[in-house]
Amino acid sequence: MTTAAENEILTRTGPGTPLGELMRQYWIPAAKSSELKADGDPVRILLMSEQLVAFRDTNGKVGIMDHRCPHRCASLFFGRNEEGGIRCVYHGWKFDAEGNCLDMANVPPHQDFKHKVHAKAYKTAERNGLVWVYMGKEQANPPPLPELESTLVPEEDIQILFIQRECNWLQGTEGELDTSHLGFLHFGSVKKEAYVEGALEQHVVENRAPEYKYAETDYGTMYGAYRPAGPGETYWRQGHFLWPMWTMPPICSIDNNLLLRGYVPMDDTHTMMVYLMHKDAVLPGAKTARQDIVGTGGWNFIPNGTGWLDRFRLSDNKLNDYNINRETQRTQSYTGITGINLQDQAVAESMGEIVDRTEEHLAPSDQMITRTRRHIVKAAQTYAKDGTLPKSASDPSVYRSVRGGQFIAPEGADWVESYKQKLDAAPLKAPLPLAAE
């Protein structure tokens, strides 16, 4: 059982918390590149319980900094993004994307001390449609960007979605590590006959109670959920937790499951799900389209506003019970909620803003969750004690040959070796990372 003290470590990510300080030693996705226009409107970003403002300067460089002007703490959200910096409208002080004070407009030149003033700004980087921020201690020498396969794909070949959730970051993350829920929450009303013969997901609805393998890795943790397949064969669904908040669920065949989901803490009760999926990722074969089985899975967004919690909110939400249709639940869909993604959203948020994990009664099917919790707590405590970081914090290459996915292997074959062989043979590959970014 997870104790109250462990749950506190797992769920608190603000400044000064053990896990929050550890997460800050990694690059974190903060925004879509498309959200920020050169000399355009500043954007409020709530990240790791810090209120930040993001802008793109005249030359295209992104700045992400504390929203408070270091002069009198007026919000730079109201600032003028102009001529290579953001200018506070209160007294005209101006800062570049790195936080350097460029001008003290209300101070006579002979009393100017701008060289002594610096806004709290974080290192930023961009790659293939994502803006990253590094909030750690080594601002002068941050680690390289992680070599996560989906982030190396050109922007035109990858779908990037941001979706806000009103719950703690770990609830979404653990949903991705819980593969046995697929046969109930999503496919509870689906029969084997819905699939073409030989489709991998046939095995999910034939046997809704898989067994599990688990391993720790340099990038985090991995699991293999397995069931009997054909004679002499085993069906595997393999997924991963990758530091600091990434998951790779086995949505498709490992051949093309170039997919990544991150659960980025906005604060302790709000999360930004960052979803990347390759355009050529193909969902498992059914006789009809998957939406005919579980409902159309598109996202319906409320238009973005300008508040701290006003980005990428869904119109199907807890205020309208995710538009659950009870008649559909009785006759067609296990949940009555339309689409796999919204079903996950509803369940994660239904647990409350932060789950009290001392109330759980966990089963063998939860071992990836329980062991990943222990892995996270141990890493956070170790970093707090002596500053030792996981290898993934400084070595981006540990993420390079990692992918979730489904596959068939010979019965009795080593699961990790089978996974590596399938991944090596996969036809869909991301390009190698650039030498310098």
- The CATH number given to whatever domain includes residue 175 is 3.90.380
Name the band, by pLDDT with cuts 50, 70 and 90, for residue 114: very high
pLDDT for 292 equals 47
Whether residue 383 has pLDDT greater than 70 = yes
- Which pLDDT score, from 0 to 100, does residue 286 have? 55
pLDDT at 436: 43
* pLDDT at residue 20 greater than cutoff 70: yes
Among the listed residues 35, 77, 36, the one whose alpha carbon sits nearest the alpha carbon of residue 57:
36
In a shared domain, residues 109 and 43: yes
pLDDT for the residue numbered 285: 61
* Residue 295 in this model has a pLDDT that exceeds 80: no
* Mean pLDDT, residues 355-375 taken together: 96
B/e letters for 257-291, b = 16+ CB within 10 Å, e = fewer, are bbbbbbbbbbbbbbbbbbbbbbeebeebebeeebe
Q: Which of 72-76, 179-183, 187-191, 198-202 has the highest mean pLDDT?
A: 72-76
Give me the amino acid identity at 126.
E
pLDDT, position 62: 98
Provide the pLDDT for residue 415.
95
Q: Indicate whether 21 belongs to any domain.
A: no
Q: For residue 264, tell me if it sits in a domain.
A: yes
Same domain, 275 and 321: yes
Is 287 found in the same domain as 241?
yes
Query: What mean pLDDT do residues 301-320 have?
Result: 97
Q: Provide the domain limits for residue 94.
A: 27-142
Q: Does residue 251 belong to any structural domain of this protein?
A: yes
pLDDT value at residue 85: 98
Average pLDDT over residues 417-421: 96
Residue 362 pLDDT greater than 80, yes or no:
yes
Please state the domain count of the chain: 2
293, pLDDT greater than 70: no
pLDDT of residue 437: 46
* C-alpha Rg value of the chain to the nearest Å: 23
pLDDT classification of 281: cutoffs 50, 70, 90: confident
- Looking at residue 259, its pLDDT comes to 94
Q: Above 90 in pLDDT, residue 203?
A: no
Residues 181-210, mean pLDDT to the nearest whole number: 85
Q: 434 in a domain, yes or no?
A: no
Q: 306 pLDDT band (50/70/90 cuts)?
A: very high
> What is the average pLDDT value for the chain, to the nearest integer?
93
CATH number, position 120: 2.102.10.10
Q: Give the chain's length.
A: 437
